[in-house]
Amino acid sequence: MYACEAEETTGRLWLWVRQTAREPYYVCGGCGISVRDVHSWTERRIRDLPWGTWRVWLVIEVHRVRCRRCGVRTERLPFVTRKAHSTTRLEAAVARDCEAAPVSRVALAWGIPPETVRRMDKRVLRRWAAARPRTPRRYLGVDEIYLGKRDKFLTVVSDLDTGEPIWVGLERKRETLDRFFAEALPPRRRRAVRAVCVDMWEPFMQSLRAHLPHARIVYDKFHVLRHVNDAVDETRRAEFFRKGGAARGLLRGKRWLLLRRWAHLERDERRLVKELLALNRRLAKAYLLKEQLAHLWDYTYEGAARRFLTTWLRALRWQRLPAFRKVAQLLLRHLDGILAYCHEKVPFGTVEAINGNIRAVLRRGRGYRDHQYLLLKVQKATAEHRRSLRAA
């Protein structure tokens, strides 16, 4: 530093700095080699971390050098990102605040425009992502998140080994997933994929069959059970309107109690469920069928799982439960993808956990229009969570 100026009215502190080496050398901004031949230089103002209540600005000399490989190029500075107007340590400090607060609040605290804060945070996240090792993608998860009436759906592709999203795209069409393979998974990296966990959305299936013909397609257990829960709820509503008097009063408000797994109920809740099922035979059959089907994913061998499902379907044949007949037709149409879990034990809960992380980041940031920025935020949050779990 060879000069300093303080502006008390604006609270700014200006520092003029330059290299002090006797024989200075510079780094080419193109290839990164050391260069001493200077073509020209100019002053550049960049913002640094504050000193107390003073907002610090650095005035530095930026040189254009003659590189024998690249020609005339601007030098590379180790503490400033190319074309940025802030130091990397200031960007890192702002990005740390963005992990726990929305951009608007961070911008107000630092006295920086919100769009500048967003760009700084994104640059830090990109540097963090670029420094991470690339691992082969063995198990993928494909799911969608409903964003609202404006943006509709967001398709999320995840790496189930690391538990992190690797790509997001607007809408849930075949073209959306085709774009993932074109942008994020080239043909040479697709050979490592062994299985894909996906719901039963046909456009996704068409894209997966076209790009990953060798990989097993495993249908998400929770999406299958959601259809079973819908059948239980439809049976409950039908019995609610069919029965009258005291039965209606007992069935009213018991929806979530009947949809929860028996193993997850407390003692008082189990007693209440027993009373409800004792009063209505059809509802008892529907609840029993739901509990039985959940054990399908406990099997290791495909033959045993197929026999279990055949027995379950036979038990359903003589029951007067039209909602479950629709479920039976659904299971028969997607039988291969359901039984594929016996060969590839993909972690179903990881997909739902990733969706939960994305919703948490969306709430914390009050929404994101830049989906690439959202992807980087969720990747960083997931990686930090996994690191804290390992440390504990």
pLDDT tens for the chain, 392 residues: list them. 788 888 888 888 999 988 776 567 889 988 889 888 888 988 889 999 999 889 999 998 888 999 989 999 988 888 888 888 899 999 999 999 998 888 999 999 999 999 999 999 999 999 999 988 888 899 999 999 888 776 678 899 999 998 889 999 988 899 999 999 999 999 999 999 999 999 999 999 999 999 999 999 999 999 999 999 999 999 988 877 776 666 666 777 778 888 899 999 999 989 988 988 888 888 899 999 999 999 999 999 999 999 999 999 998 888 889 999 999 999 999 999 999 999 999 999 888 888 888 888 888 877 788 888 989 998 888 887 676 656 55
Q: Does 146 lie in the same domain as 225?
A: no
Residue 390 is predicted with a pLDDT of: 62
User: Which pair of tokens denotes residue 303?
Assistant: 């033959």
User: Which pair of tokens denotes residue 360?
Assistant: 């948490």
User: Which pair of tokens denotes residue 216?
Assistant: 């097993």
Q: How far is CA 193 from the centre of its chain?
A: 19
Domain end position, chosen among 78, 111, 131: 78
Q: How many residues in the chain?
A: 392
User: Which pair of tokens denotes residue 1?
Assistant: 């530093």
Q: Does 302 lie in the same domain as 255?
A: yes
Residue 253 is predicted with a pLDDT of: 77
Q: Is the dihedral of CA 188, 192, 194, 196 positive or negative?
A: negative
Q: How far is CA 119 from the centre of its chain?
A: 20
d(CA 365, CA 383): 18
Which residues are paired to 241 by β-bridges?
none
In a domain, 115, yes or no: no
In a domain, 1, yes or no: yes
Q: Does 226 lie in the same domain as 178?
A: no
Do strands 216-219 and 195-198 pair parallel, antiparallel, or not at all (unpaired)? parallel
Q: Is the dihedral of CA 363, 365, 366, 367 positive or negative?
A: negative
159 and 189 in contact (C-beta within 8 Å)?
Answer: no
In a domain, 129, yes or no: no
Q: Does 316 lie in the same domain as 234?
A: yes
Q: Does 363 lie in the same domain as 280?
A: no
45 and 85 in contact (C-beta within 8 Å)?
Answer: yes
Residue 391 is predicted with a pLDDT of: 57
User: Which pair of tokens denotes residue 151?
Assistant: 């943006």
Please report how many Cα atoms fall inside a 13 Å half-sphere around the Cα of residue 378, on the Cβ side: 30
Q: Does 283 lie in the same domain as 188?
A: no
In a domain, 93, yes or no: no
Residue range(s) defining the domain that contains residue 46:
1-78
Three-state secondary structure readout of the chain: CCEEEEECCCCEEEEEECCCCCCCCEEECCCCCEECCEEEEEEEEEECCCECCEEEEEEEEEEEEEECCCEEEEECCCCECCCCCEEHHHHHHHHHHHCCCCHHHHHHHHCCCHHHHHHHHHHHHHHHHHCCCCCCCCEEEEEEEEEECCCEEEEEEEECCCCEEEEEEEECCHHHHHHHHHHCCCHHHHCCCCEEEECCCHHHHHHHHHHCCCCEEEECHHHHHHHHHHHHHHHHHHHHHHCCCHHHHHHCCCHHHHHCCHHHCCHHHHHHHHHHHHHCHHHHHHHHHHHHHHHHHHCCCHHHHHHHHHHHHHHHHCCCCHHHHHHHHHHHHCHHHHHHHHCCCCCHHHHHHHHHHHHHHHHHCCCCCCHHHHHHHHHHHHHHHHHHHHHC
Burial class (CB in 10 A: 0-12, 13-18, 19+), 84: middle
Report the number of distinct structural domains present in the chain.
Answer: 3
Cβ-Cβ contacts under 8 Å for 35 (sequence gap 6 or more): 25, 26, 27, 28, 65, 66, 67, 75
Q: Does 330 lie in the same domain as 249?
A: yes
Residue 21 is predicted with a pLDDT of: 65
Q: Does 235 lie in the same domain as 177?
A: no
pLDDT digits (tens, 9 = 90+) for 261-281: 999 999 998 998 898 888 888
In a domain, 284, yes or no: yes
Domain end position, chosen among 342, 362, 384: 342
In a domain, 85, yes or no: no
Burial class (CB in 10 A: 0-12, 13-18, 19+), 228: buried
User: Which pair of tokens denotes residue 375?
Assistant: 């992807």
Closest CA to 80 of 47, 50, 104: 47
In a domain, 266, yes or no: yes
Q: Does 269 lie in the same domain as 179?
A: no
Burial class (CB in 10 A: 0-12, 13-18, 19+), 89: exposed
Phi and psi angles of residue 149, each rounded to the nearest 5 degrees, phi first:
-70, -30
Q: Does 329 lie in the same domain as 262?
A: yes
Q: Does 272 lie in the same domain as 229?
A: yes
In a domain, 111, yes or no: no
d(CA 265, CA 269): 6
Q: Does 313 lie in the same domain as 232?
A: yes
